[in-house]
Amino acid sequence: MRTTILLLVIVQVVLGNKTYSIPNFEANWYKAYEYCLSKDQRLATIESEAESDAVIQFVKNSDKYGDRIRFWIGAGDLAQEGTYTWTSTNKLLKYAIWGKNEPNNRYGNEHCIELYHRAEIWLWNDHVCEYEFYFICESFTAVCDSN
């Protein structure tokens, strides 16, 4: 019995048990990044299909949900063109759901990643970091990583 409880706790930590929030204003990627940190959170990291599903479900239940919506998430290739990392953790992207022909670094000026929704399809795109979009913060109290 005690073992079972312990296992349940571990599973919950490994899955992250994240909580998400969408602040009620639009910001460029840098300001979004800073704002999440200022709330002891971070710009959302999505490292698995399960996390992607959780984020999408959260957005669907939020007042920002609709067709043709987009949100900054915490990834980009700001440090080195073409090398995409989760900025908060400096980990390379392993899981990704890029849109068709993305990331394309259009005009050589797209270095920040958005999650966008169009006609029930949710995908990622690299976009211009200075553009102001809504963004998704996540709590990150649990640090448990096998890597």
Binding site for Ca ion (CB under 5 A): 77, 102, 104-106, 110-111, 125-126
Q: How far is the CB of 31 from Ca ion (least distance, A)?
A: 19
Q: Where are the beta strands (DSSP E) in 40-104?
A: 42-43, 69-76, 85-86, 91-92
Q: How far is the CB of 133 from Ca ion (least distance, A)?
A: 13
Tell me how far CA of residue 23 lies from CA of 1, 110, 126, in angstroms.
Answer: 41, 23, 21
Q: How far is the CB of 95 from Ca ion (least distance, A)?
A: 18
Shorter beta-carbon distance to Ca ion: residue 51 or 126: 126
Shorter beta-carbon distance to Ca ion: residue 107 or 145: 107
Return d(Cα 82, Cα 58) in angstroms, integer: 29
Shorter beta-carbon distance to Ca ion: residue 77 or 138: 77
Return d(Cα 142, Cα 68) in angstroms, integer: 32
Peptide bond just before 23 cis, omega within 30 deg: no
Shorter beta-carbon distance to Ca ion: residue 16 or 103: 103
Q: How far is the CB of 108 from Ca ion (least distance, A)?
A: 8
Classify residue 119 by its DSSP letter: T
